[in-house]
Amino acid sequence: MFLVVSAPTQVDPALASTVRRMRVERGDTQEDLAHRAGLTVAAFARIERGHANPTWTTVRRIAAALEVSLSTLAEAVERSKARH
């Protein structure tokens, strides 16, 4: 019998900064985007500050709230990583 212990997942600072940049570019407040994504403002703020690792479902909801596709969001995150 083997016990598999997974490492805790790390937050992605590039996702956090990209979501923040896209939100600000749209002129939205954290409250605006959180409500459109079906999140509490506190939960959204933790994601945007890089203090929480959102689930796949939450990332999909954030992309929809930003009115971008998942691929557009993913590409923006990858570009952000390449710059740093």
- Helices 30-37, 41-48: crossing angle, 10 deg rounding: 110
pLDDT of residue 5: 47
Q: How confident is residue 8, by pLDDT bands cut at 50, 70 and 90?
A: low
Closest residue by Cα to residue 16 from 5, 8, 24: 24
User: Can you give the residue ranges of every domain in the chain?
Assistant: 13-83
- Distance between CA atoms of 15 and 64, rounded to whole angstroms? 15
pTM above 0.95, yes or no: no
Q: What is the pLDDT of residues 16-56, one digit of tens each?
A: 999 999 999 999 999 999 999 999 999 999 999 999 999 99
Under a CB-based contact definition with an 8 Å cutoff, are residues 33 and 67 in contact? no
Q: Which superfamily, per CATH, for 13-83?
A: lambda repressor-like DNA-binding domains (1.10.260.40)
